[in-house]
Structure 1
Amino acid sequence: MSSLPSADDYLPGHGDRSWGARSYALDLTYGLEGNRLDGEARIEVEVLEPTDRLVLDLAGLDVAKVSVDGRPPAKFSTRRDRLVVKLRDDVEAGATLTLVVKYGGRPKPLVEKHHGDAGWEELTDGVIVAGQPHGAPTWFPCNDRPDDKATYRITVTTAAGYTVVSNGLLVERRRRGSGESWTYEMDAPMATYLATVQIGRYDIVEHDAPVPLVSAVPQGTARERSAAYDAGFGRQADMVRAFEGWFGPYPFASYAAVVTGDDLEIPLESQSLSTFGKNFVSEDWDQVRLVAHELAHQWFGNAVTLARWRDIWLHEGFACYSEWLWSEESGHESATWWAEHHHARLAEQDQDLVLADPGPELMFDDRVYKRGALALHVLRGAVGDEAFFALLRSWVAEHRGGSVTTEDFLAHASASTGADVGVLLYAWLTEAELPALPAPPV
């Protein structure tokens, strides 16, 4: 057998460019006691290059049955966290296929070099799925590359008394045997790493926001910690209104914030929802800012998604800068104050990171976040507020649902502002040495 494909050199062993998924329909049954997941994935496939096989990512789960257009394939096998489906005949580019995979097992996080563990993970009483960047294959077979976006219908059946939160709108909730079934639909294109399932004993708090917005919080905790809750999560509706003014309309049909009963090291990004540990319910700015950060990802990262992992600054730099904008909007320090503060801190650190290509070992380094935000602040200072925020709104509007690169952003920004943004940001994006921060305009 020939070697298996990789779609991105930052995440080897994931993704296949010979085909793309147009939709996933996942029907999952999960037993909390024993951590048992059984699933059927129905994937609508578009063939992009002539091929005689489909290679999918699936880690740590057993495959019981595969069909292609209702018939068994010539063969299927698993190899190094991949499912290889040998087709009965060669297929040409443009062909469409319906692939159905029945599978199951005891899911667990997948550990990758440089990126640690990600994926389906048990909590004290429930489950989280941390997809970024390589966790999707731990719970469903997929084409795990960030530029392969599809629509999703996700049904999860689990024990009664637990709440399931997933991407998109809840379209059905019903009893199924001794458990309860929850079905969510995400009709906007979504990358595999942004798909998620959260299971726990949660109360649902509704917010008066421009879009349907809820928080799922551990039962009984919403009132007990109201001051701490209100400082960040209680202001999500205000954040949406502010972000819509800066970035354009909220890009999805709903938004949810899940607060787990366990502490988590970092919040988790996913499309139309974000997940936080209970330790993020706090009046401290270092926790509040992350509520704004994860919400901002709905525009920058979810609606508009990188085509390759090297361009992660297009997500994290923008979300970090949104923290600074929200700080100023909510009566804390200004964006300029934060820029000067973090530039001074970065100047004391190692100068070995290239923002537009940090390498897989540094792609989630905090310097990517802060240097990306600084690059945007420099751009804002050069073109002025009116042109800068018009640029952000047009960037999202024109690329919503798509996949982009740094080169795309530079071309768009130059066309939008009339400035040569590639030259303006050249040192920020391509040189390891931290550029000087221009003096703020008078």
Structure 2
Amino acid sequence: MMKPGKFAAGGAGKFYEEPVDAYLPQNGNRGYRVSRYELELTYKVPSNRLAGKASITANATEVRAKFAFDLSPALTVSKVTVNGARPAKYTHQHGKLTLTPAQKIPAGGALSVTVQYAGTPSPIRSIWGEVGWEELTEGAIVASQPNGAASWFPCDDHPSSKASYQISITTDSPYYALANGTLLRKQTRASHTTWVYEQSEPMATYLTTVQIGPYERRRVPSDQVATPMHAVLPQRLRTRFEHDFARQPEMMDTFVRLFGPYPFADYTVLVTDDDLEIPVEAQGISVFGANHCDGRRGSERLVAHELAHQWFGNSLTLRSWRDIWLHEGFACYAEWLWSENSGGPSAQEIATQAHLNLGLLPQDLLLGDPGPDLMFDDRVYKRGALTLHALRQALGDGPFFDLLRQWTARYRHSNVTTEEFTDLAAHFTDAPLRPLWDAWLWNKILP
């Protein structure tokens, strides 16, 4: 087996190195660590045309001749510079932009890369469907989990590579453009408007988003919580939104009490003018389809699920995709906790039914390492939630919620592993928890 970071010759002149993550062997790169992305984007809605300039600040972690970034073949690179020098040599093949600095960069040395590119962005096809930048009827949506970020900017596309961002979007003036973080400025010139956002907290590439459409922004009344909350949506959906999402401030208050302080400056829900199959999370933002505003609160459990991801997934982000239950199991259990705290069925009642349902399904999923084909299987969500409920029963409510609050505090804005969670949980009881973890995480048969 190759040592990490070492190239091995492949057929037809290609080069390969040991994958960063076995679940997505084509994504992520070695040899550097990104600390910041600055993206300057221009998007033409009628023609779905994107032009971009990406300025990437990184440090080399080893001496090497070449450095690679993930970038979709649908985008054409016109110029690359490294450390302010004259244009660098590069190749762009098989979803990898590989550049050769004119001079060797020492380990720990600065790696400042600027890439100019353009094209017609399209989703990246994967075994989980199409992910990334996608046209809407009028505008665009970005939903990149797990490997769609490269559909719209060059990046180190793996969740263990978190960085700060500044995102500038210039688009046709009738449209609203939303990205992660705080809106620094908005400037309109002639028929175009430029929106500049700053995301200072570290963010994984798949959680980076741009949303463009015929939207209006409004403040969500949330006197009982300190976190500013906003809605960005078509005017026609405003009345339904005000009913369907009315309990969101109460939801935020409940989760702050159970999970600890909200980890970002504010929270925005965007509702597209189109229907979406499922809502998606981004850092500081959740994206719903028009169909999730039905006027009957029919999607309220999904509202809870996406909000919970701000703690579990966005602030605390898995280090490798095998630990996906740390995102989805926790967000699913948050649905049950919201039900329990808002007058609905208790978590115990929901867990009992979920256990019965899972017992009727194939017993071929290993929660602690489900494999890429099953990592978004609904059983990961439900069995993950059941694992947390079993832990809650073993610890008792007081220690269990103390554990969750310490978990979110200790690893705020960091990457996490299952082992770190199980190690932390051991401090909240004198009883051995290994039998619980073995049964729920490392045995395919449902306990």
Normalising to structure 1: TM-score of the pair? 0.95
The answer to which of 35-44 and 212-221 deviates more is: 212-221
Query: What is the match of residue 252 of structure 1?
Result: 264
Give the share of equivalent positions with the same residue, in percent. Answer: 49
1:107 is paired with a residue whose SS is: coil
Structure 2 distance, partners of 1:281, 1:116, is 24
- The amino acid of 1:255's aligned partner reads Y
Structure 1 distance, partners of 2:272, 2:213, is 7
Alignment coverage as a number of residue pairs: 430
Structure 2 distance, partners of 1:368, 1:318, is 10
Long gaps (5+) in structure 2: 1-12
2:375 is paired with a residue whose SS is: coil
Indicate if the aligned counterparts of 2:332 and 2:381 stay in contact, CA closer than 8 A.
Answer: yes
Offset of residue 94 of structure 1:
1.2
Offset of residue 51 of structure 1:
1.6
- The amino acid of 2:234's aligned partner reads P
Offset of residue 7 of structure 1:
1.6
Query: What is the match of residue 104 of structure 2?
Result: 90
Structure 2 distance, partners of 1:167, 1:154, is 8
Query: What is the match of residue 213 of structure 1?
Result: 229
Structure 1 distance, partners of 2:303, 2:382, is 17
Query: What is the match of residue 54 of structure 2?
Result: 41
Does residue 51 (structure 1) correspond to residue 51 (structure 2)? The answer is no
Offset of residue 219 of structure 1:
1.9
Query: What is the match of residue 440 of structure 1?
Result: none
Aligned 1:147-166 pairs, distance under 5 A: 147-166=160-179
Indicate if the aligned counterparts of 2:395 and 2:428 stay in contact, CA closer than 8 A.
Answer: no
Offset of residue 416 of structure 1:
3.9
- The amino acid of 1:42's aligned partner reads S
Aligned 1:272-287 pairs, distance under 5 A: 272-282=284-294, 287=299
Indicate if the aligned counterparts of 1:7 and 1:14 stay in contact, CA closer than 8 A.
Answer: yes
- The amino acid of 2:385's aligned partner reads A
Query: What is the match of residue 9 of structure 2?
Result: none
Cα deviation code 1:145-200 (max 9, x no counterpart): 11000000001000011111111111111114420011111100000000000011
Structure 1 distance, partners of 2:21, 2:395, is 34
Indicate if the aligned counterparts of 1:53 and 1:85 stay in contact, CA closer than 8 A.
Answer: yes
Indicate if the aligned counterparts of 2:32 and 2:59 stay in contact, CA closer than 8 A.
Answer: yes
Query: What is the match of residue 125 of structure 2?
Result: 111
Offset of residue 421 of structure 1:
3.0
Does residue 145 (structure 1) correspond to residue 158 (structure 2)? The answer is yes
Indicate if the aligned counterparts of 2:83 and 2:110 stay in contact, CA closer than 8 A.
Answer: no
Cα deviation code 1:211-270 (max 9, x no counterpart): 1111111123212x26xx423x22211111110000000000111111001000011111
Query: What is the match of residue 243 of structure 1?
Result: 255
Indicate if the aligned counterparts of 2:35 and 2:58 stay in contact, CA closer than 8 A.
Answer: yes
Does residue 131 (structure 1) correspond to residue 147 (structure 2)? The answer is no
Indicate if the aligned counterparts of 1:327 and 1:334 stay in contact, CA closer than 8 A.
Answer: yes
Structure 2 distance, partners of 1:41, 1:287, is 37
Offset of residue 282 of structure 1:
3.2
Going from structure 1 to structure 2, the CA distance change for 1:377 and 1:121 (only over 3 Å counts) comes to same
Going from structure 1 to structure 2, the CA distance change for 1:340 and 1:182 (only over 3 Å counts) comes to same
Long gaps (5+) in structure 1: 436-442
Offset of residue 19 of structure 1:
1.1
Cα deviation code 1:306-328 (max 9, x no counterpart): 00001000000000000000011
Aligned 1:325-340 pairs, distance under 5 A: 325-340=337-352
Cα deviation code 1:258-290 (max 9, x no counterpart): 100100001111100010101111365651100
Structure 2 distance, partners of 1:73, 1:407, is 44
Query: What is the match of residue 407 of structure 1?
Result: 419
Structure 2 distance, partners of 1:63, 1:110, is 17
The answer to which of 381-390 and 72-81 deviates more is: 72-81
Cα deviation code 1:298-343 (max 9, x no counterpart): 0000000000001000000000000000011111111001100100
- The amino acid of 1:115's aligned partner reads W
Query: What is the match of residue 44 of structure 2?
Result: 31
Offset of residue 17 of structure 1:
2.4
Going from structure 1 to structure 2, the CA distance change for 1:222 and 1:285 (only over 3 Å counts) comes to closer
Aligned 1:145-224 pairs, distance under 5 A: 145-209=158-222, 210-223=226-239
Query: What is the match of residue 10 of structure 2?
Result: none
The answer to which of 413-422 and 101-110 deviates more is: 413-422
Going from structure 1 to structure 2, the CA distance change for 1:104 and 1:74 (only over 3 Å counts) comes to closer
Structure 2 distance, partners of 1:285, 1:202, is 21
Offset of residue 420 of structure 1:
3.2
Structure 1 distance, partners of 2:279, 2:432, is 36
Cα deviation code 1:405-439 (max 9, x no counterpart): 1111111111244443333221100111100xxxx
Offset of residue 131 of structure 1:
0.9
Offset of residue 399 of structure 1:
0.4
2:335 is paired with a residue whose SS is: helix
Query: What is the match of residue 316 of structure 1?
Result: 328
Aligned 1:341-420 pairs, distance under 5 A: 341-420=353-432
Indicate if the aligned counterparts of 2:88 and 2:102 stay in contact, CA closer than 8 A.
Answer: yes
Structure 2 distance, partners of 1:264, 1:168, is 23
Structure 2 distance, partners of 1:314, 1:408, is 11
- The amino acid of 1:173's aligned partner reads K
Structure 2 distance, partners of 1:260, 1:406, is 34
The answer to which of 323-332 and 173-182 deviates more is: 173-182
1:90 is paired with a residue whose SS is: coil
Indicate if the aligned counterparts of 1:282 and 1:288 stay in contact, CA closer than 8 A.
Answer: no
Indicate if the aligned counterparts of 1:23 and 1:151 stay in contact, CA closer than 8 A.
Answer: yes
Structure 1 distance, partners of 2:69, 2:401, is 40
Aligned 1:219-230 pairs, distance under 5 A: 219-223=235-239, 225=240, 229-230=242-243
Query: What is the match of residue 421 of structure 1?
Result: 433
Structure 2 distance, partners of 1:190, 1:373, is 25
Query: What is the match of residue 264 of structure 1?
Result: 276
Indicate if the aligned counterparts of 2:81 and 2:88 stay in contact, CA closer than 8 A.
Answer: no
Indicate if the aligned counterparts of 1:391 and 1:417 stay in contact, CA closer than 8 A.
Answer: no
Query: What is the match of residue 78 of structure 1?
Result: 92
Q: Which residue, out of 308, 315, 319, partners 1:296?
A: 308
Structure 2 distance, partners of 1:44, 1:131, is 22
Indicate if the aligned counterparts of 2:38 and 2:167 stay in contact, CA closer than 8 A.
Answer: yes
